């Protein structure tokens, strides 16, 4: 049995052998994790590859005593969500939904309209935010500005932006509890 801590220590010092060993230990599990969500061989392989590129790039900052599994799956989880969001925003998604609508049963059509209902409920829920929370939420999640960009634009501290955004998300999460999956996809920020 290989000592993972030793491999991580060697990795932080630039050992390609340790990197390859860790890839061989975790690559397959990571692929199955990504594939279970993406249902695409190439997209799952891309997530695995990008995850390990990030691990190699950030190798000097890895703590050999911390959970490598948690670190690995956190990186891949964020890449996976980024890919899901990209797929949702892909121009062909609209065509796909139109085709599905033409072939859909009544239940499938109801599911498609859930997204429309989600958007309406999101607009309603945003009315429960303070004006500042609403402004920061829109800049962050709808205009994809970073915390730094928002702070600069509004002439407030980055911590104030984080606090307001956190409060806004708490209110919206509560208001949109029936749409938790869509809300998570909508609010992911990379």
Q: Are 13 and 64 in contact (CB under 8 A)?
A: no
Mean pLDDT calculated for residue range 8-19: 94
**Quick one: pLDDT at residue 183?**
62
Mean pLDDT calculated for residue range 109-125: 66
Torsion sign, CA atoms 135, 137, 138, 140? positive
- List, for residues 50-85, the tens digit of each pLDDT value: 999 999 999 999 999 888 888 888 888 888 888 877
- Measure the CA–CA gap between 167 and 54, rounded to whole angstroms: 31
Using 50, 70 and 90 to split pLDDT, how confident is the model at 100? very low
Is residue 112 scored above 70 in pLDDT?
Answer: no
**Quick one: pLDDT at residue 85?**
73
**Quick one: pLDDT at residue 99?**
46
Mean pLDDT calculated for residue range 17-34: 91
User: DSSP state, 60?
Assistant: G
Mean pLDDT calculated for residue range 5-31: 93
**Quick one: pLDDT at residue 91?**
53
**Quick one: pLDDT at residue 116?**
63
* Mean pLDDT across the chain: 80
- List, for residues 145-157, the tens digit of each pLDDT value: 889 999 999 999 9
**Quick one: pLDDT at residue 107?**
46
Residues 6+ apart with CB under 8 A from 59: 11, 12, 14, 19
């Amino acid at each position: 049995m290989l000592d993972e801590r030793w491999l991580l220590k060697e990795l932080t010092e630039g050992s390609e052998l340790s990197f390859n060993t860790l890839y061989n230990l975790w690559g397959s599990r990571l692929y199955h994790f990504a594939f279970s969500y993406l249902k695409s061989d190439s997209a799952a392989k891309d997530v695995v590859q990008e995850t390990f590129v990030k691990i190699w790039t950030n190798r000097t900052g890895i703590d050999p005593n911390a959970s490598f599994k948690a670190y690995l799956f956190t990186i891949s989880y964020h890449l996976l969500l980024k890919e899901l969001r990209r797929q949702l925003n892909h121009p062909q998604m609209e065509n796909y939904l139109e085709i599905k609508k033409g072939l859909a049963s009544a239940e499938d059509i109801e599911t498609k309209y859930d997204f429309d209902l989600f958007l309406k409920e999101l607009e309603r829920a945003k009315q429960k935010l303070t004006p500042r929370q609403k402004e920061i939420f829109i800049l962050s999640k709808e205009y994809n500005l970073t915390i730094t960009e928002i702070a600069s634009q509004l002439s407030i501290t980055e911590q104030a932006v984080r606090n307001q955004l956190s409060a806004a998300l708490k209110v919206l999460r509560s208001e949109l509890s029936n749409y938790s999956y869509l809300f998570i996809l909508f609010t992911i920020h990379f």
